Amino acid sequence: MRVLIVDDEPLARARLAALLGECAAVEIVGSVGDGETALGAINQLQPDLLLLDINMPGLDGTALAQRLGDRARPQVVFCTAYEAHALKAFELGAVDYLLKPVRLERLREALQRARQRLVEVPREAVAWLHGRLHGEEVRIALDEVICLLAEEKYVVVQHRRGELLIEESLRQLEEAYPGQLIRLHRNCLLPPARLLGIRTLADGRVLARLDGTELSPEISRRNLPAVRKLLRLG
C-alpha cells in the first residue's frame, strides 16, 4: 500500500515513517508538511492512503479531506493530538483516527482497515464538488457539471439543474481533478465530455459549444491548441 505522510511537524513525520518501516506491505511514497503541497503530491504520486495531521497552517487536514471528497483513493487516516476532532474525522469519511503519539499496533490496525476499504470500493469513485445553495451546504457529482466559471471570490458551478457556489479556486480544482477537467480560459474549466465543438467569430475570438447549455465560453489562445487536440481525439 502506497502511503503519503502529511504533517507540519518534521519530528511527527519522521516518527510515522519509522513506524511504517515496521509494517508489512507498505511503501512510503512521500512526506510533506502542508495541505497545498499534499494536493500536488497526491496527483503526482497517487497514494493509496494519507496519514494526515488535522492542525496545520494554511490548508488544514479537514479542509484537505473535504477537497478530496468521495474518491476511492487515497483513503485518509487522521493523526492528531486532539481527541475532540474524532467525530469530524469520521464525518469526513476517514477510515481511522490515531491519537499522537501514534502506537505501532494502532497504526497496524488503521492500515488493515484502509486495505479493507480499498478492496470494498471501486478504483474510480464518484467525484463530488461541495458548495452552498441558498445558504445550505450541498454537493454535485462532477459528471453532472457543465462548466466552472470564476467570479470574484467564488467559482460558479453550472450544472443541468442550476448553479452552485464553491469556494475553491479553479487552480485548486484543476489540481484536485487532473484529467477530469480541462481549461478553456483563465476563468473557465469544464469536464472534457461537455465539449461539443468550437466556432470562430468575425473578430477572431473562439468560443466553445457545450453540451447541455447555450453558454459559449471563450477559449484563450493559450488553451486553444489543447482544445483542438481534444476534439480531434474525440
pLDDT, tens digit (0-9, with 9 covering 90-100), for 111-146: 999 999 888 765 555 678 888 777 777 888 888 899
Q: Is the pLDDT of residue 84 over 80?
A: no
pLDDT at 123: 52
Cα separation, 7 vs 54, whole angstroms: 8
Specify the pLDDT at position 98.
94
Q: What is the pLDDT of residue 51?
A: 97
| Topology (CATH) of 128-233 | OB fold (Dihydrolipoamide Acetyltransferase, E2P) (2.40.50)
pLDDT of residue 211: 87
Residue 10 has pLDDT above 90, yes or no: yes
Q: What is the pLDDT of residue 69?
A: 66
Q: Is the pLDDT of residue 154 over 90?
A: no
Higher-confidence position of 171 and 132: 171
Predicted confidence band of residue 230 (pLDDT cuts 50, 70, 90): confident
Per-residue pLDDT, 89: 66
- Give domain limits for the chain: 2-120, 128-233
pLDDT bucket at 207, cuts 50 / 70 / 90:
very high
CA-nearest of 47, 50, 18, 19 to 35 is 50
Domain 2-120 indexed as CATH 3.40.50.2300: yes
Mean pLDDT of 176-190: 90
Whole-number pLDDT of residue 121? 66
Of the ranges 42-51, 61-70, 82-91, 201-210, the best mean pLDDT one: 201-210
pLDDT at 102 > cutoff 60: yes
Q: Average pLDDT, whole number, for the chain?
A: 88
User: Looking at residue 142, what is its pLDDT?
Assistant: 85
2-120 and 128-233, same CATH topology = no
For residue 44, the model assigns a pLDDT of 79
